[in-house]
Amino acid sequence: MPRITAEDGVNVFARDLGEGDPIVFLHGWPLNHRMFEYQYTHLLDEGFRCIGIDLRGYGKSEKPYGDYSYDRFADDVRAVLDELDVDGATLAGFSMGGGTATRYMSRHDEACIDKLALLAPASPVITEKPDFPEGLDESDVNPLIEGARTDRAKMNADFAEMLFHTDQSDEMMDWIWSLGMEASGQATIASAETWRDADLRPDMDDITVPTKIYHGVHDEVTPIEITGEVLEEGIENAELIRFENSGHGLVADETETINEQLAEFAG
């Protein structure tokens, strides 16, 4: 599987499987591309090309000390798409990957992308701002960052418990924990500060492609009222689809439904 060298020399891992219409997956914090395993299985059988990117600091990508901003992530995505000669793709971003996706669409003028799928996105704003009092208080997010500094293993376990509305097996929870532990500690901290502080509202005006927002109504991490609903209103060609039996982790809460939705949208 290829490792693509970004403009600053960091190697970014991408798994490129199948043929057909491409779907590019951007994972959430603090996981990696393997979180989409049960999407790949369905979509590959449906004849799609699935490209999963490990953002720098996560999974099999290099883990440098330094910048973990949305700009940096978006530039890495562009390097991967150019190297793999991707065009006409559906860009699917989950949580922090959703923030990366909306920044990519603005920063890189929607290059290579024909459709945008946002899954429980950490976009456009998570925490309150002077003109956005609806956001979460920073005190809701900071314990995750402090936990990553002091006991990342426990923080990952606690965060996994926040993800789902439906019951998951102990083995599934252990697997989710293990994905988080593949990340670097510094990336975990720095990118959490990124999604805590970011204001991506200006990017919404630059998104013109058909956009679907898939969001669990029970999401406690990126509540639908401050993310999905705001994106639907702010992106010209967007539709919000509510998952009535999902929390943040809709890819596991309602796997069959999200798989069918993605196949229909990307087809």
Phi and psi (nearest 5°) for 260? -65, -40
Question: Is 139 tagged catalytic?
Answer: no
Spatial neighbors of 266 by CB under 8 A, at least 6 apart, are 21, 23, 43, 48, 90, 92, 115, 117
Instruction: Name the catalytic one among 54, 76, 203, 219.
Output: 219
Instruction: Name the catalytic one among 184, 246, 248, 253.
Output: 248
Instruction: Name the catalytic one among 54, 75, 95, 191.
Output: 95
Query: Smallest Cα–Cα separation from 221: which of 168, 171, 161?
Result: 161
What whole-number distance in Å separates Cα of residue 194 and Cα of residue 99?
10
Q: Is 121 helix (H, G, I), strand (E, B) or coil?
A: coil
Enter the tokens of residue 57.
């600091």
Question: Is 61 tagged catalytic?
Answer: no
Question: Is 106 tagged catalytic?
Answer: no
Contact yes or no for 26/101 (Cβ under 8 A): yes
Find the helix or strand (DSSP H, E) in which 238 lies: strand 238-243
Identity (one letter) of the amino acid at 262?
A: L
* CA dist 154 → 105, 147, 184 (Å): 35, 7, 15
Axis crossing angle, helix 185-197 with helix 96-107, rounded to the nearest 10: 70
> Which residues are known to be catalytic?
95, 219, 248
